[in-house]
Amino acid sequence: MNRVIFNIILFLITISCSSPKKYDLVIENIGLFDGEKDHGRVNLAINADTIALIALGDIEGDSVIDGTGKYIIPGLVNAHVHASSEEHLKTGYPLGILYLLNMHTGQEDREKDWKELAKDSLGYSVLYGSGHAATVPGGHPTQFSPNMETINDSTNIEDWVDHRIANGADYIKLIHVTRGFMEEPTPPSLNYNQIGELIEYSHQRGYKVVIHATSIDEMVEIAKYKPDGFVHMLDYKDEYPVPEGYFKEIEKSDAFIVPTGGISLKPMDGLPPFIIEWVSENVLNAEERAEIIRKYQEYDIPIVAGTDAQEGQMDFGADYFLELELYKKAGFSNLEVLRTTTGNAAKAFNLPIGEIRVGSQATFLLLNKNPLNDLSNLRTLEQVWKNGKTQ
């Protein structure tokens, strides 16, 4: 017999006769939603900090946990935050929000340090970020970050993007505005040619690009340049109802939307009366936002959940669930809502977040009840697992 064939046969015999592989930890008979679909009851094996196997059949483990009646889902993703303190990295963790996507910081070194701290530390949500957002001198958000680098006569587009990448940005964020808040003068902004060049060069460097924009005309114009996503939805009543052409143009761009509309469900108690009056008269309410989000879904525009900071009006913990409530108001099924909080974010940003699959980090939520049956079961969180560990 040919020696090579003999060795192959011997190897196969050896494999077939060897004992089943044993894993560090096995969670048996557990319900699983992986960020995209419901797997029903499975057995899940973990080695060190990694998910090693998901199977229907029996698996041997050094330690075994009985998951009967319980459910595992990926850690939730808040895809639009502005973390300005270390405490922000802890706020959502006990509620299962295990990933935060920072959408501008005035201090890139601090963001880099926090990302390193949060990567492995229990009790901290994992942080990703854009570093500085792209704007011009005097543009939003320079009022909050006066020392940030802007695109100006001495810093061109290529250099600006290269600086963000060198400082550890995970994606690039651009700012475009067409009106000031509460009738304030409209601040300076990037022009559309600059936005097109920023998107093109960032894509050449292999980076996703997301856009701050909140009105029909600007979003339609920017959509022509093929950004990866818009990190706000439409905001103002004077553009409602929204023409079909708007949705068609966003659909053609293949961009996703992070609506940040959940604030419309938050009571305005304690705000000055003049702000309450202006918001009520000018800003889309929850029902109007829900209708727009329903249309996004009809046009297969992906939705990713995020809160924004809203200048202190939204927190990164409990208020996150207002965003999910808004999607339910828009008619999303429980499965569709869960996708916005997990797998949609992973696909939109191409980051290792919001998914459970073989080879991924063992970072997930162990719930006492199935959230696909009732979203309020997200509140039945028994354990948070991060990189194969739990507190």
Residue 9 has pLDDT above 50, yes or no: no
pLDDT, averaged across the chain: 94
The reported pLDDT for the residue numbered 141 is 96
Weakest-pLDDT range from 13-17, 187-191, 202-206, 383-387: 13-17
The secondary structure of 241-253 as a DSSP string is: SPPHHHHHHHHHH
The reported pLDDT for the residue numbered 310 is 63
Backbone φ and ψ of 317, nearest 5°: -115, -100
Residue 12 has pLDDT above 60, yes or no: no
Query: In 10 A of CB 137, how many CB atoms?
Result: 11
Query: How confident is residue 6, by pLDDT bands cut at 50, 70 and 90?
Result: very low
Q: Is omega for the bond preceding 241 within 30 degrees of 0, making it cis?
A: yes
Give the model confidence (pLDDT) of 267-312 as tens digits.
998 889 999 999 999 999 999 999 999 999 999 999 999 999 866 6
Within the chain, all domains assigned CATH 2.30.40.10 are found at 17-72+356-390
Share of residues in the chain with pLDDT > 70 (%): 94
Share of residues in the chain with pLDDT > 90 (%): 90
For 6-17, what is the mean pLDDT?
Answer: 44
Residue 183: which residues within 8 A CB-CB, separation 6 or more? Answer: none
For 163-179, what is the mean pLDDT?
Answer: 97
Amino acid sitting at position 86:
E
Q: Does domain 17-72+356-390 have CATH number 3.40.50.2300?
A: no
DSSP summary character for residue 151: -
Q: Which residue has the tokens 């249309």?
A: 295
CA distance 259 to 79: 10
Q: Which residue has the tokens 């997990």?
A: 342
The reported pLDDT for the residue numbered 17 is 43
The secondary structure of 320-335 as a DSSP string is: HHHHHHHHHHTT--HH
Domain 76-349 is in which class? Answer: alpha beta
The reported pLDDT for the residue numbered 16 is 42
User: Which residues does residue 134 pair with via DSSP β-bridges, in sequence order?
Assistant: 174
The reported pLDDT for the residue numbered 77 is 98
CA distance 309 to 365: 24
The reported pLDDT for the residue numbered 20 is 59
Give the model confidence (pLDDT) of 84-128 as tens digits.
999 999 999 999 999 999 999 999 999 999 999 999 999 999 999
Of the chain, the end-to-end C-alpha distance in Å amounts to 57
The reported pLDDT for the residue numbered 316 is 84
The reported pLDDT for the residue numbered 2 is 56
Give the model confidence (pLDDT) of 33-80 as tens digits.
999 999 999 999 999 999 999 999 999 999 999 999 999 999 999 999
Within the chain, all domains assigned CATH 3.20.20.140 are found at 76-349
CA distance 101 to 128: 5
Give the model confidence (pLDDT) of 305-354 as tens digits.
999 986 667 888 999 999 999 999 999 999 999 999 999 999 999 999 99
The reported pLDDT for the residue numbered 271 is 86
Instruction: Tell me the three state secondary structure of residue 387.
Output: coil
Residue 211 has pLDDT above 80, yes or no: yes
Instruction: List, edge to edge, every strand of the sheet that includes 229-230.
Output: 172-175, 209-212, 229-230, 256-257
